[in-house]
Structure 1
Amino acid sequence: MNELRSLTASLAIPGMPEWTGLLLLTLGLLCAAAFLLMPFSVFGVKSRLEALEVQLDEIQAELRELAMRLQEPALAARRPAVAEDWVEPPSFVAGRAERDPPRVVAPPVPPPPAWPQPGPRGGRAEPRLDWPRQR
């Protein structure tokens, strides 16, 4: 009993009754316990985990299909017919290079920048104040 009194005395808030500190500590511990025991669906974790589970199921199904395809001997022994029958097309660039000299391609030259013309007062465009005016 003395330990409880010493605990309440050490947690007491000045100007308040002695039991207020213990009450605040108890409320804080209850809030922490409720936060730890809260279900994950409140935070939105449950829906994200379900979406990841669906994606994993799809990936596993694709892997199973690929494994089944690799096990088929007819498809594994088959070679592509296009690689054997490929013939290099005649080069038109080589024939043109022998007849015509090579062309030099240069980028277009940009026009010179257009600068604003100076104002009537010799280069300054903003108005000048004649202050103070002399009469």
Structure 2
Amino acid sequence: MCLLSRVSAVNASRASQSLNAELKKKKDLLSTELAKHRAALDEQRHALDVRQDRIAPIEYQRRKAVLDRQVQQLEKELNTRFIAAQAHGQQQVDNALNQALSRVITRNACSFVMERDTTYGWNNAMDITSAVTQEMNAILTTVAIP
């Protein structure tokens, strides 16, 4: 029997640290893109507000609704892109974990593996967490996201 703290193994891995750094970059990039497009839509909205008294009320409401939908669609699109990047990166980390866990289980001849964090007490010799982290680091050090 072996024990593993999946959360600790993943969080200590270079791949997970790389993923977090890449996701921060992606979030910053998408936030900048959102701000740029939102500013353009806000300018259009302001121009519409300035002309409001020269436009029929129903036409004003229609144009305003179109601009509001464009903002919502933009936010949705950028959020979808972030989630896809996050899922792609997490898949790489999960694959490295699975490979590392398989290697460590074979090397240590573990009959079965239990989650260490839900165990009341254990012998430290049973804990394979650091071995799994080291193996993950050998398999994958950086994560690339689209």
Q: As a proportion of its length, which structure holds more strand?
A: 2
- TM-score normalised by length of structure 2: 0.30
Q: As a proportion of its length, which structure holds more helix?
A: 2
Q: Tell me which structure has the larger Cα radius of gyration.
A: 1
